[in-house]
């Protein structure tokens, strides 16, 4: 998969938009030619490797961090939730810098409601943070108008692609939070969103792939078609 993504990035500006901390995503992917948008797009940074698509000659320049003022409160809530979740076996609180994730994939289903109540009780003291639900995870984010859709629009604008009719963005995702990016493309009437799922779901995406293996095949096929043009 890494080779497939690297191949796409050789021809097109390529970004990974994730709910996880940007540094964690980079350490996992290890491709310096990509754009990385961590914390649901609240921490965006350009390639650290020379690229035809790079926005700046400053390799380490951070492009966008719209929620910096929330860092202290995020850390405070992280410490509180970590202590609270110790009483629920299998629960894990992940600090993604500008947001938090409370994972309950390994928690007994009978404990899910109790976990949710604990999290909501903590957030009652933090009205500037909002709670959303993903796949067996609760996401805690700053109450600002910024999501993966905003990250997508920011990247398109920064690259000089906003408003151009000769650009075809493709966004692939498998999480509820990716719907914000799918909606952006649908509202633009330009490009496509691709949902990765094995089951039918309500979505703003235009197409679907069943699993990561199909995503990799799509990348490889896409490169082959491009080379034939």
**What are the structural domains of the chain?**
1-66+146-226 (3.40.50.1000), 69-142 (3.30.70.1020)
- Percentage of the chain with pLDDT > 70? 93
Where does 30-161 have alpha helices with state H? 71-85, 112-123, 148-158
pLDDT at 56: 45
Residue 59 pLDDT class (50, 70, 90 cuts): very low
Specify the range with the lowest mean pLDDT, choosing from 47-51, 58-62, 75-79: 58-62
In this prediction, residue 228 carries a pLDDT of 67
Q: Is 81 helix (H, G, I), strand (E, B) or coil?
A: helix
> Contact, 115 vs 104, CB < 8 A?
yes
Average per-residue pLDDT for the chain: 92
Residue 206: count other Cβ atoms within 10 Å of its Cβ.
15
Is pLDDT larger for residue 177 or for residue 59?
177
How do 35-38 and 15-17 pair as beta strands? parallel
pLDDT recorded at residue 89: 96
Residues 6+ positions from 218 with CB-CB distance below 8 Å = 172, 194, 209
Kindly tell me if the per-residue pLDDT of 54 is higher than 80: no
Q: How far is CA 3 from CA 110, 169, 213, 219, 220, in A?
A: 42, 21, 13, 10, 9
pLDDT-derived band at 53 (thresholds 50, 70, 90) equals: low
- pLDDT for the residue numbered 51: 57
Confidence of residue 229 (pLDDT cuts 50, 70, 90): low
Q: What is the mean pLDDT of residues 165-179?
A: 95
């Amino acid at each position: 998969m890494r080779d497939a993504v690297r191949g796409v990035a050789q021809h097109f500006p390529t970004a990974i938009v994730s709910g996880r901390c940007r540094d964690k995503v980079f350490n996992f992917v290890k491709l310096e030619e990509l754009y990385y948008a961590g914390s649901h797009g609240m921490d965006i940074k350009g390639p650290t490797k020379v690229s035809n698509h790079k926005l700046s000659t400053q390799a380490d320049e951070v492009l966008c961090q719209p929620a910096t003022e929330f860092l202290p409160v995020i850390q405070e809530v992280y410490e509180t939730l970590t202590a609270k979740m110790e009483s629920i076996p299998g629960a894990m609180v992940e600090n993604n810098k500008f947001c938090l994730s409370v994972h309950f994939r390994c928690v007994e289903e009978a404990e899910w409601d109790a976990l949710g109540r604990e999290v909501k009780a903590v957030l009652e003291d933090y009205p500037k943070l909002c709670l959303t639900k993903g796949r067996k995870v609760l996401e805690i984010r700053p109450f600002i108008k910024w999501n993966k859709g905003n990250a997508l629009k920011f990247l398109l604008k920064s690259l000089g692609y906003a408003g151009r009719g000769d650009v075809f963005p493709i966004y692939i995702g498998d999480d509820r939070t990716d719907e914000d990016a799918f909606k952006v493309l649908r509202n633009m009437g330009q490009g496509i969103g691709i949902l990765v799922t094995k089951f039918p779901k309500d979505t703003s995406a235009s197409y679907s792939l069943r699993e990561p293996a199909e995503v990799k095949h799509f990348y490889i096929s896409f490169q082959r078609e491009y080379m034939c043009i």
